Amino acid sequence: MSTTAATAWDFDAQTLTGKPAPLSAFRGKVALIVNTASKCGLTPQYRGLQALHDRFKDRGFVVLGFPSNQFGQQEPGTNDEIAQFCEMNFGVTFPMFGKIDVNGDAAHPLFKWLKAEKPGALGIEAIKWNFSKFLVDRDGKVVDRYAPTTEPDALAADIERLLG
């Protein structure tokens, strides 16, 4: 698949329960795609991500969480443990996917594409840490990339603009 022709909706992933999940199911929505971790100093951002999801979901917005264990081994659990942690500690109801790599040769194709579409500071594509965020419009095009330390509520105006 050519990265210039692709949209976020052209990729598939697996849910935390191992079921196939075509991202085309989110076509027509504005999405915030985030690599997550359960044992990170930024893990409390789950609360803010859930708040964004709740605030805008009825207008066509969704947060999509992709756990990754590539940064400081901060997502060591199984997919079942991740699901339980997110629900119990942060009331997460937005879609969470199976654990993936976001950097390197084994990086999930979605993240390879996201990074190519919207490189970070100084044109560096690699994801620096947990909770890097990509804002995708209704057509599946990457609009912006946010640093791991950018709090979810700081994205509300950008989401609002895309929702119209």
- Report phi then psi at 94, rounded to 5: -75, 160
> Of these residues, 6, 21, 30, 40, which one is catalytic?
40
Bridge partners, residue 63, by sequence: 32
Is 40 marked active-site? yes
Closest CA to 92 of 64, 71, 111: 64
Residue 37 · residue 131 · CB < 8 Å: yes
Using CA atoms, how far residue 43 sits from 19, 21, 65, 160, in Å, is 25, 24, 12, 24
Q: List active site positions.
A: 40
